[in-house]
Structure 1
């Protein structure tokens, strides 16, 4: 599954955001993201917040939740597999974040929004 890249905005942060979207399944540190943006951590945080309205970590969480939702809708992966592939770590972490942000469990979300023709993705 490939997450589409965001539209280019002309921002110097575009390459960092694109890179992060391609690597949501792994830990991403603020210094690593700043390095990708060719900026200091302080500059990255200031510019990122000005452009997106959220901090880099809030944005990463939003993107990870979007990825998790996409996986829940389109695959039959287990909750733990979805959490791993979206960078949320564990099934429990995914449950907590979905409940906090949507008021639903992963099972309830999948039941409500899964496409009837969900693709089975069982690759490790």
Structure 2
């Protein structure tokens, strides 16, 4: 459910509600199962979605932030630099497909 709704502003309370648990119980069980907090997991999933978008589309960083659930480019840049060590723009320069290849594929 969460992966399908990454672009939505999902909160931990909503996770817990979907699992029909209290927030505290959900957080504890989630950590026991996955080894990270629900918030850390959600951020990692959003970063993965952002990476994929940066590699495979020419969307601007603001659009990538929106589609991956970060809400805005500033928030995406902060999390991206913290986790990956480079800005989203620099990441795209290093790992994204050239725009000409994207146009050829869609033709």
Fold shared per TM-score above 0.5: yes
Q: Report the TM-score range of the alignment, normalised by the length of the smaller protein.
A: 0.7 to 0.9
Unaligned runs of at least 5 residues, structure 1? 1-18, 120-124
TM-score of the two chains, using structure 2 as the length reference = 0.88
Which structure: greater helix fraction?
2
1:74-85 map, 5 Å: 74-85=56-67
Aligned to 2:16: 34
Unaligned runs of 5+ in 2: none
Report 1 or 2 for greater relative contact order, CA contacts < 8 Å, sequence distance ≥ 6: 2
1:25 is matched with 7
Q: Distance in 1 between matches of 2:87 and 2:102?
A: 18
Q: 1:113 aligns with which of 88, 95, 101?
A: 95
RMSD across aligned C-alpha pairs, in angstroms? 1.3
Aligned residues: 101
Give yes or no for contact 1:73–1:118 (8 Å, CA) kept in 2: no
Separation of aligned partners in 2, 1:115 and 1:90: 23
* TM-score, normalising length: structure 1: 0.76
Match of 2:44 in 1: 62
Q: Is the 8 A contact 1:48 1:55 kept in 2?
A: yes
CA distance in 2, matches of 1:77, 1:22: 20
Contact 1:64–1:88 at 8 Å: present in 2 too?
yes
- What secondary structure does 1:100 align onto? helix
Shift >2 Å, 4+ stretches: 115-119
